[in-house]
Amino acid sequence: MKTIRGKEFREELLQRNDSSQPDLEFDRNVLSIIDCVRSKGDQAVLNYTERFDGVKLERMLVTRAEIQEAKKQVTEEFLRSLRAAKQRITSYHEAQKEQSWFLNQNEGIMLGQKVTPIDSVGIYVPGGKAAYPSTVLMNALPAKIAGVSQISMVTPPQRDGKINPHVLVAANEAGVDRIYKVGGAQAIAALAYGTETIEKVVKITGPGNAYVARAKKWVFGDVAIDMIAGPSEICVVADENTNPIYAAADLLSQAEHDERAAAVCVTTSETFAKALSEEVDRQLEELDRKEIAAQSIEQYGRIIVVDTLKEAFDIVNRLAPEHLELMINNPMEHLASVRNAGAIFLGEHAPEALGDYMAGPNHTLPTSGTAAFSSPLGVYDFMKKSSVIYYSEEALAEVAEDVMVLAEAEQLTGHANSIRVRKAGK
């Protein structure tokens, strides 16, 4: 694993997600899929599923019988762990739910904010080669807590035309209303615009491959989206007391996701840096996904040696990492130094994997430096707010002149007149 000094650090890690030079051919392909689904509906979705997933489907909507069959295929141990995760995720997210509020500032004036759940959401869950029941819980449960009345889920089918049983059981446990055997850009288009079978939704959430991410970008505006997720990333802040075995394991837990995942450690100790590099090499040989992780570490894995923790946190805040682990002495004391991070893990016994499955906070996090301005997925993403304004006749009269002056300054005489006619009692 490459070790560099803090002063050598530039923008190399941030540039891996640079989209300033878009792939026009890629975009044309995605837009072609979206347009085809909009015009041809179910038939287009079925054709693309056969073409990209190698599955000729008779129906896209998962039946109750298929869910019952999936329940028989998972172990009691899995179901017990899934329900434990559900309980913790639910408990955490219930604290996020916002309430409507109202203020009576003066006699005759009532102002407020009405909080309302969105009507429908479509959740994308990656599938086909892998299964992500945790992603189901992290997207569906906050929507359920928010009060979304219609939750749909799309996920690519396996080669046998079925959905992975762990994903199906998770969707059933989370209260998903409709499950469709559809993936890729065609699934995003179907959720955004609707087909004969797939109902249009108000918002689309969930991670996916490059086609899914780009399709979400192109349908945004016609529907809302949560974020455009990039490759996974982790940053570990370490000192001379950090356990290199733990740090290496956590770095590799992200490197195994994707060849473009970034695993970075910022440390104040050159001795630790050397031990960590050796430990990463050792543990890498033991991974099932060794080839993927090795490419990630080679291209985007870095150990950055700095002189002070202040310098370390300057780098952290420039990176704005998806996952940040503070594996240093008294990590709580340094929490205020973190401005930009998707999720912050404190101490050596709070590994990133804990957050992925069981801790409770959402694992759908901002990537590619977007933690500088955005937040983890939460209940608030499935709710919207409306301003509420009430003025009595007397209260309006008190501010009428000021409203008209401001309206006329903007040359909006119709605005001014809407106040004038009331002031005149007409």
Calculate the CA dihedral of residues 273, 274, 277, 280 and round it to 10 degrees. Answer: -90
CB distance 165 to 73 below 8 Å: yes
Q: What tokens does 379 get?
A: 């209940």
DSSP string, 356-401: HHTSSS-S----TTGGGT-----GGGGEEEEEEEEE-HHHHHHHHH
Is 322 marked active-site?
Answer: yes
Across 166-183, b (16+ Cβ under 10 Å) vs e yields: bbbbbbbbbebbbbbbbb
Per the rule left: phi > 0, alpha: psi between -120 and 50, beta: everything else, 320 is left
Q: What is the CA radius of gyration of the chain?
A: 25
* Residue 255 structure tokens: 């490197």
Between helix 244-255 and helix 290-300 the angle, nearest 10°, is: 100
Catalytic-role residue among 322, 325, 348, 352: 322
323 is catalytic: yes
Between the CA of residue 292 and those of 331, 351, 377, what are the distances in Å? 31, 21, 27
Contact present, 258 and 17 (Cβ < 8 Å)? no
Provide the 3-class DSSP secondary structure of residue 172.
helix
> Looking at 93, 166, 233, 323, which residue is catalytic?
323
For residues 113 and 106, give the distance between their C-alpha atoms in angstroms, rounded to a whole number. 17
Q: Order of strands, edge to edge, in the sheet holding 224-225?
A: 178-180, 150-154, 120-124, 203-205, 224-225
Distance between CA atoms of 255 and 252, rounded to whole angstroms?
Answer: 5
Number of residues assigned to the chain: 426
**Residues assigned a catalytic role:** 322-323
